[in-house]
Structure 1
């Protein structure tokens, strides 16, 4: 019997998940590993600085980088207290209710603020590097994985805040991570020797992103290639 992993509404054989992740981590220049995963930012996991916004561009989310940077600088003072929340520890598979709530509040820092060129997708790519085993990446492919394809597990709710969205989504990705943790750990270990470490959570994102592109590829003229 073929062993499978569940991610969002999709299932994938462990062997194919390994193939997708191996390509991702072992074809420099084709995907964002190791460029994104080795980006040091400001070098402090407990704070964000002006350097950190550039991380989003390494996952091809850097459109209009100048406006993104100025918007990001305006909200730095609001991010740091949330990032220092005492409950933001450990890994996502271990996270209890207080930690999940702290993550949702951190991603919800954009709620109620005018943040041109800085939305949840870019913010997630900035924050993930601060706690790569705890803070999940998010983009349109991840939304399609959980809210559109296969046995979808998320509903689209108009005008839902980032905090509310994360509150609804985090238990789903946590379940996928926990249920397949041994295999996600094996997949993360496919990272080449000497390269930046890959966490099981990051491995799940790699597989999910590539699996969605495989299942429902977007038209090339509409696809901004993700150096993911």
Structure 2
């Protein structure tokens, strides 16, 4: 293991982790030729470090999460110094994936598996369905859900866009791993339109109701087609945090990376989840399994 990661593992506080990140940033600058030879990479480096530092200190819920964010930023620094884009793979979590799954689905544990993963009626969205993201730590309540069920307005447009996904026969059988990620046609275009509507319906979109909420609503109804858009998932694959209120271009950066990775790693994940059933006795989807593994890995501060 490289010296930088050994140093990071010894970090016992967010402040020590940040000092470690600063050291990596300085070493990266030196490798770039004292800022002169790779200005575009330096700009990307500075942006990555700035975003993760501000985000970690302002929103991290605990020390482990903060350190994990700094670790990811430093790994991105190292990749940028070599002129590479930092993209991770769920394959790197193979050694701890089963542990994370068992922790998450434990009926006596603190996670939301026995509540969120009840599908309900797969063909309709009720107000309670639209509150389901709260079970996955989304700040959502009556202010976000009531407008969806008004007869008109931006909220009604967003609900219609989500219902169009459920009404489409191709969406009912489509698999994210095989679907063409085309925003103009095919099953995925309907998912994309629902995400775009949250920011553009009625010219204003919906405040505090964007890609995170929509994907966590639609995933329960179409678990093989709609992946969950989440800060931890985005950060895992792209090495940085998504912008606040992401709804269109930011999720579009994630989908191809997620699709390609899960397609290449699907065999061992499918073997791992073969015996797992949801609380309402359905097979656990590969998309949900990947979400659980990556999220639990980040939330637990796992360093396996």
Picking from 147, 151, 163, the partner of 2:248 is 163
Shift in Å at residue 50 of structure 1? 1.9
Structure ranking higher in helix proportion: 2
CA distance in 1, matches of 2:162, 2:279: 32
CA distance in 1, matches of 2:297, 2:271: 18
Q: What is residue 142 of structure 1 aligned with on the other side?
A: 233
Deviation at 1:66, TM superposition (A): 1.4
Q: Match of 2:260?
A: 175
Query: Cα–Cα, structure 1 residues 38 and 44, in superposed 2: closer, same or farther, change >3 Å?
Result: closer
SS of corresponding position for 1:30? coil
Q: CA deviation at 1:187?
A: 2.6
Residues 49, 59 of structure 1: alpha-carbon distance in 2 compared, 3 angstrom cutoff: same
Higher RCO (CA 8 Å, separation ≥ 6 residues): 1
Structure number with bigger Rg: 2
Matches within 5 A, 1:12-161: 12-40=92-120, 43-45=121-123, 47-61=124-138, 63-73=139-149, 74-75=155-156, 76-88=159-171, 89-97=173-181, 98-113=186-201, 114-148=205-239
How far the C-alpha of 1:206 sits from its partner, in A, is: 0.3
Note the C-alpha offset of 1:178.
Answer: 0.7
* Residues 13 and 126 of structure 1: CA distance in aligned 2, closer, same or farther (over 3 Å): closer
Q: CA deviation at 1:207?
A: 0.6
How far apart are the structure 2 equivalents of 1:192 and 1:44?
A: 17
Helix, strand or coil: the match of 2:92? strand
Distance 1:185 1:19 in 2: 15
* 1:83/1:106 contact within 8 Å kept: no
Aligned-residue offset at 1:36: 0.7
TM-score (norm 2): 0.57
TM-score, normalised via structure 1 length: 0.74
* Structure 1: distance between partners of 2:115 and 2:245: 33
1:211 CA displacement = 1.7
